[in-house]
C-alpha cells in the first residue's frame, strides 16, 4: 500500500519551449504532483500551456520574461494563493511561490533561480557577483521566523554547490564561481536562518558525491563526470519528519538535446 504523499520536482530546463518534449517525457515517466521549472526563458504569453494541461497540470504560476531567467510552478493540486517576488529592486523573473493543500494542511512552495554570478568571484570587480551575494542576503533576511515556522518547501537552481562532495574537485573549484567560500557561507547562512533541511543530504551521506549539473563543454559528460550540485530542494522543520525520499534523476542528462541540469524530486508523506 502506497503512503499518501506529495511529490515535488525541481528542474532548470534551460528554455521550456526548446525542451518541451523532454519535459513531457519526464512528466510521463515520473509524474510528480508539482513541477517547478527555472530558466524558462519565456514571456508569460508564450509559455507552452497545452502540454501541461493535457497531462493534468491545470494549475500554473508563471513568472517569465523574454530570453532570460524565468520560473514556473505547474501542479495537479490547486493553489490557495500565489505570489511573484522581486529581489534587489530588479523585476527579473527569479521567484514565484504558491500555497497549496497537501492533505494535512497548507504548504508553501518557493521556486527560486539565484543569479549565476558571472565569472569573477569579486563583488568589487564584478557587478553580477555582487548581485548574487545581495540576492542571497535578501533571501536570508526574508526566509526565517514566521516564514519558516510553517510547512514550506524551497526549490530551485540556487547556483551554489555547498560542500566538497557537491563538486568534482573541491581544490580546483575553490576560486570558481558557484563554489567559492563567500558563496557557500552565504548559502549556509540562508539555510541555517530558517533551519531548512537539505533533502538530498538528509538521505545521502555528507561525503557522497552528488551532482545535478554537467557542463555542455565536456565531450562526454558521463566519462569526465565533472559535475556540481547546483539544484536543491529544502524543507522546513515541520516537514522534515515527513520526508520519504529525495532523488536526482541523472538519466535525463543523457536524453537528446538535454538541459545541462537534471531534475531533483522529493516525496513527502501527508498521512
* Class of the domain covering 5-269: alpha beta
Quickly state the pLDDT bin for 101 (edges 50, 70, 90). Answer: confident
> How is residue 192 written as a grid cell?
541555517
Q: What is the pLDDT of residue 240?
A: 97
Strands 152-157 and 106-113, sheet pairing:
parallel
pTM above 0.75, yes or no: yes
Statement: residue 3 has pLDDT above 60? no
Quickly state the pLDDT bin for 1 (edges 50, 70, 90). Answer: very low
Q: How far is CA 188 from the centre of its chain?
A: 16
Strands 34-38 and 5-12, sheet pairing:
parallel
Element (H, E) at 185: helix 181-193
Q: Give the tens place of pLDDT for each residue, 172-223.
A: 999 999 999 999 999 999 999 999 999 999 999 999 999 999 999 998 999 9
Q: Alpha carbon of 217 to those of 221, 226, 232, 251, 259: distances in Å?
A: 8, 10, 23, 18, 13
Q: Give the tens place of pLDDT for each residue, 224-245.
A: 999 999 999 999 999 999 999 9
Quickly state the pLDDT bin for 270 (edges 50, 70, 90). Answer: confident
Statement: residue 143 has pLDDT above 70? yes
Statement: residue 40 has pLDDT above 90? yes
Q: What is the pLDDT of residue 102?
A: 74
User: How far apart (Å, rounded) are the C-alpha atoms in residues 72 and 39?
Assistant: 9
User: How far apart (Å, rounded) are the C-alpha atoms in residues 57 and 24?
Assistant: 11
DSSP state of 2: P
Domain boundaries, the chain: 5-269
Of the candidates 270, 240, 264, the residue with the CA atom closest to the CA atom of residue 32: 264
Q: Could you tell me the sign of the dihedral formed by the alpha carbons of 147, 150, 155, 161, in that order?
A: positive
User: How far apart (Å, rounded) are the C-alpha atoms in residues 231 and 253?
Assistant: 14
| Mean pLDDT in residue range 1-19 | 88
Amino acid at each position: 500500500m502506497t503512503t499518501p504523499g506529495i511529490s515535488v520536482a525541481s528542474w532548470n530546463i534551460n528554455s521550456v519551449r526548446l525542451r518541451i518534449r523532454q519535459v513531457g517525457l519526464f512528466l510521463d515517466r515520473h509524474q510528480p504532483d508539482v513541477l517547478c521549472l527555472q530558466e524558462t526563458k519565456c514571456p508569460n504569453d508564450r509559455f507552452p500551456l497545452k502540454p501541461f494541461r493535457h497531462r493534468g497540470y491545470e494549475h500554473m504560476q508563471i513568472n517569465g520574461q523574454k530570453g532570460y531567467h524565468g520560473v514556473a510552478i505547474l501542479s495537479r493540486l490547486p493553489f490557495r494563493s500565489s505570489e511573484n517576488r522581486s529581489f534587489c529592486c530588479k523585476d527579473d523573473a527569479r521567484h514565484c511561490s504558491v500555497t497549496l493543500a497537501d492533505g494535512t494542511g497548507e504548504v508553501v512552495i518557493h521556486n527560486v533561480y539565484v543569479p549565476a554570478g558571472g565569472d569573477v568571484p569579486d563583488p568589487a570587480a564584478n557587478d553580477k557577483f555582487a548581485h548574487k551575494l545581495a540576492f542571497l542576503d535578501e533571501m536570508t533576511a526574508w526566509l526565517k521566523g514566521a516564514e519558516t515556522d510553517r510547512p514550506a518547501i524551497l526549490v530551485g537552481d540556487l547556483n551554489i554547490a555547498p560542500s566538497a562532495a557537491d563538486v568534482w574537485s573541491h581544490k580546483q573549484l575553490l576560486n570558481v564561481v558557484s563554489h567559492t567560500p563567500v558563496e557557500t557561507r552565504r548559502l549556509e547562512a540562508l539555510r541555517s536562518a530558517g533551519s531548512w533541511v537539505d533533502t538530498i543530504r538528509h538521505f545521502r551521506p555528507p561525503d557522497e558525491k552528488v551532482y545535478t549539473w554537467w557542463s555542455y563543454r565536456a565531450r562526454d559528460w558521463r566519462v569526465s563526470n565533472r559535475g556540481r550540485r547546483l539544484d536543491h530542494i529544502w524543507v522546513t522543520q515541520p516537514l522534515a519528519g515527513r520526508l520519504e525520499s529525495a532523488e536526482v534523476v541523472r538519466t535525463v542528462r543523457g536524453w537528446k538535446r538535454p538541459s545541462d541540469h537534471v531534475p531533483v524530486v522529493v516525496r513527502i508523506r501527508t498521512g
